[in-house]
């Protein structure tokens, strides 16, 4: 195989145009690399996920890559825990900015010249010769680069080509979620929970909510939304049944929201009526299209394979209890660029990147499992059971879930 390499102007092909792909493009451009991003979606990525908790590491990465943090989101002053009747049973002052996936996408997307962001291009396979990479796309076309960055998420096709043995692991629980409009919520809901990061913690479940901007990053009162997340336990067989869609088609890992079976949604709403405090039930009632997301995690033992570097969820993905995935994506991208700037030799730079970030990804994943013990699934060790017991206290949950600086604390 003859692979063309260019040393004068170094070039990276980035597969995946979401958080980690955009961060990587922004940071690599800053060190003088030529970068092109290839995203399989044929249309601009909007409306994915919903709420994103922020951390100091994410804010720093946004500033340092040039995206900035303007109009990032809504700042809450405190966390509260409520009981079934909606009474406040605990409180923690903690200022935190809650943003949305759309806002981050917009800020990061503006850092990339549209001519270098290619929609409707699906990675298919690669060839590499130790010096350079040749990247093939399903729609046709081949790109040559000094480096291929796999930023294509938890089910990364790039990773599947270079490390097919690495597979995400189902946690044994899933979440129902959605984001009702502020304008639809009752006065009581607006006063009692809307301004806060709120926890309701029935046995083996978690309901968490916080305010986020409205569509088009509308931050005006009455135009915002409330991010609603409900964790429930369900084994692999139950998940498989849930993944049969409205038309009877079996999906592998999740079902596109419009195709989720109506009987599942009806059952979920009926279950909610039995256990939810009135304000959370009000939120759920006003979610037009609730959808579920099964929770998986994994950490790849190698995140550099020749001239392929994995970043973001393609490299490791944790359960979302820390709300740190996008911050990790920014950190991976920044570390990759710093290593490439510090070493003239690309392979030495990639080795430095892997040595720094692989252990961090693994640590984050393990921390997510620790926090996941709250749900009481797969408790194997005494340490798991100790942590499970500790997290049965809502005060501990407020101290551990999605808090800033957890990485330093869990060293």
Ligand X SMILES: Cc1cc2nc3c(=O)[nH]c(=O)nc-3n(C[C@H](O)[C@H](O)[C@H](O)COP(=O)(O)OP(=O)(O)OC[C@H]3O[C@@H](n4cnc5c(N)ncnc54)[C@H](O)[C@@H]3O)c2cc1C
Q: Provide the binding-site residues for ligand X, judged by CB under 6 A.
A: 15-21, 38-41, 45, 49, 52-53, 122-123, 151-153, 157, 175, 293, 312-314, 320, 323-327, 329
- Strand bridging mode 117-119 / 291-299: unpaired
**Quick one: 12 or 326, whose CB is closer to ligand X?**
326
CA pair distance 241, 237, nearest whole angstrom: 6
- What is the nearest approach in angstroms of ligand X to the Cβ of residue 160? 9
Q: Do residues 36 and 13 lie in contact, with contact meaning Cβ atoms separated by under 8 Å?
A: yes
CB of 21 to ligand X, least distance (A): 6
214 versus 368: smaller Cβ distance to ligand X: 368
Nearer to ligand X, 57 or 86 (CB): 57
Q: Which of these, 73, 75, 289, 288, lies nearest to 184 by C-alpha position?
A: 288
- CB of residue 100 vs ligand X: minimum separation in angstroms? 10
Minimum distance from residue 250 beta carbon to ligand X (Å) = 21
Nearest-angstrom CA–CA distance, 129 and 144: 12
15 or 148: CB nearest ligand X: 15
Pick between residue 86 and residue 315 the one whose CB is nearest to ligand X: 315
| Cβ nearer to ligand X, comparing 149 with 340 | 149
CB of 90 to ligand X, least distance (A): 21
Put residue 123 in one of left, alpha, beta given phi > 0 → left and psi -120 to 50 → alpha. beta
Query: In this chain, which residue has its C-beta nearest to ligand X?
Result: 325
Using CA atoms in the order 122, 123, 124, 125, what is the torsion angle rounded to 10 degrees?
A: 170
Task: Give the nearest distance from C-beta 257 to ligand X in angstroms.
Answer: 13
| Dihedral angle sign, alpha carbons of residues 168, 361, 369, 265 | negative
Tell me how far, at minimum, the Cβ of 18 lies from ligand X, in Å.
3
Q: What is the largest CA-CA distance in the chain?
A: 69
Surface-to-core class of residue 2, CB atoms within 10 Å of its CB (0-12 exposed, 13-18 middle, 19+ buried): exposed
Quote the least distance from Cβ 391 to ligand X, whole Å: 18
Between residues 16 and 277, which has the closer beta carbon with respect to ligand X?
Answer: 16
* Torsional class of 78: left (φ above 0), alpha (ψ -120 to 50), beta (otherwise): beta
Of the pair 157, 277, the CB lying nearest ligand X is at 157
Q: Are 231 and 375 in contact (CB under 8 A)?
A: yes
Q: Which position has the token pair 């990525």?
A: 45
Q: How far is the CB of 136 from ligand X (least distance, A)?
A: 11
Taking the C-alpha atoms of residue 15 and residue 313, their distance in angstroms, rounded to an integer, is 12
In terms of Cβ atoms closer than 10 Å to its own Cβ (0-12, 13-18, 19+), residue 293 is middle
Q: How far apart are alpha carbons 77 and 237 in whole angstroms?
A: 41
The angle subtended at Cα 271 by Cα 195 and Cα 252, nearest 5°, is: 95
Is 52 or 86 the residue whose CB approaches ligand X more closely? Answer: 52
């Amino acid at each position: 195989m003859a692979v063309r390499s260019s040393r004068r102007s170094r070039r990276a092909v980035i597969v995946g145009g979401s958080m980690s792909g955009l961060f990587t493009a922004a940071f690599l451009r800053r060190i003088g690399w030529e970068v092109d991003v290839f995203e399989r979606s044929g249309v601009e990525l909007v409306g994915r996920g919903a709420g994103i908790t922020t951390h100091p590491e994410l804010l720093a990465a946004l500033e340092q890559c040039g995206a900035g943090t303007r109009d990032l989101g809504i700042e809450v002053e405190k966390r509260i825990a409520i009981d079934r009747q909606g009474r406040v049973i605990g409180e923690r002052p903690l200022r935190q900015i809650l943003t949305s996936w759309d806002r981050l996408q917009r800020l990061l997307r503006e850092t990339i010249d549209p001519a270098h962001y290619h929609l409707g291009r699906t990675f298919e396979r690669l060839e590499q010769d130790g010096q350079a990479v040749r990247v093939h796309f399903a729609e046709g076309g081949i790109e040559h680069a000094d480096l291929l960055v796999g930023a294509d998420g938890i089910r990364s096709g790039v990773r599947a080509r270079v490390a097919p043995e690495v597979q995400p692991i189902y946690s044994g629980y899933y979440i129902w979620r959605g984001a009702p409009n502020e304008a639809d919520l009752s006065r009581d809901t607006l006063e009692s929970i809307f301004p806060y990061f709120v926890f309701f913690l029935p046995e083996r479940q978690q309901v968490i909510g916080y305010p986020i901007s409205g569509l088009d990053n509308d931050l005006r009162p009455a135009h915002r939304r409330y991010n609603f997340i409900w964790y429930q336990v369900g084994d692999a067989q139950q998940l498989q049944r849930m993944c049969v869609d409205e038309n009877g088609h079996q999906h592998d890992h999740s079902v596109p929201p419009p195709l989720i079976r109506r009987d599942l949604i009806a059952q979920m709403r009926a279950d909610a009526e039995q256990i939810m405090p009135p304000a959370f039930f009000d939120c759920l009632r006003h979610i037009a299209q609730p959808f579920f997301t099964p929770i998986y995690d994994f950490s790849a033992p190698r995140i550099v394979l020749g001239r392929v570097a994995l970043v973001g969820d393609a490299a490791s993905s944790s359960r979302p209890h820390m709300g740190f995935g996008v911050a990790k994506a920014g950190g991976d991208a920044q570390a990759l660029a710093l290593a490439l700037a510090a070493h003239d030799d690309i392979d030495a730079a990639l080795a430095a990147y892997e040595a720094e970030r692989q252990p961090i990804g693994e640590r984050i994943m393990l921390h997510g499992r620790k926090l996941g013990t709250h749900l009481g699934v797969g408790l194997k060790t005494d340490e798991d059971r100790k942590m499970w017991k500790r997290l049965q206290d809502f005060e501990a949950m407020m101290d551990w879930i999605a808090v800033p600086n957890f990485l330093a604390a869990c060293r």
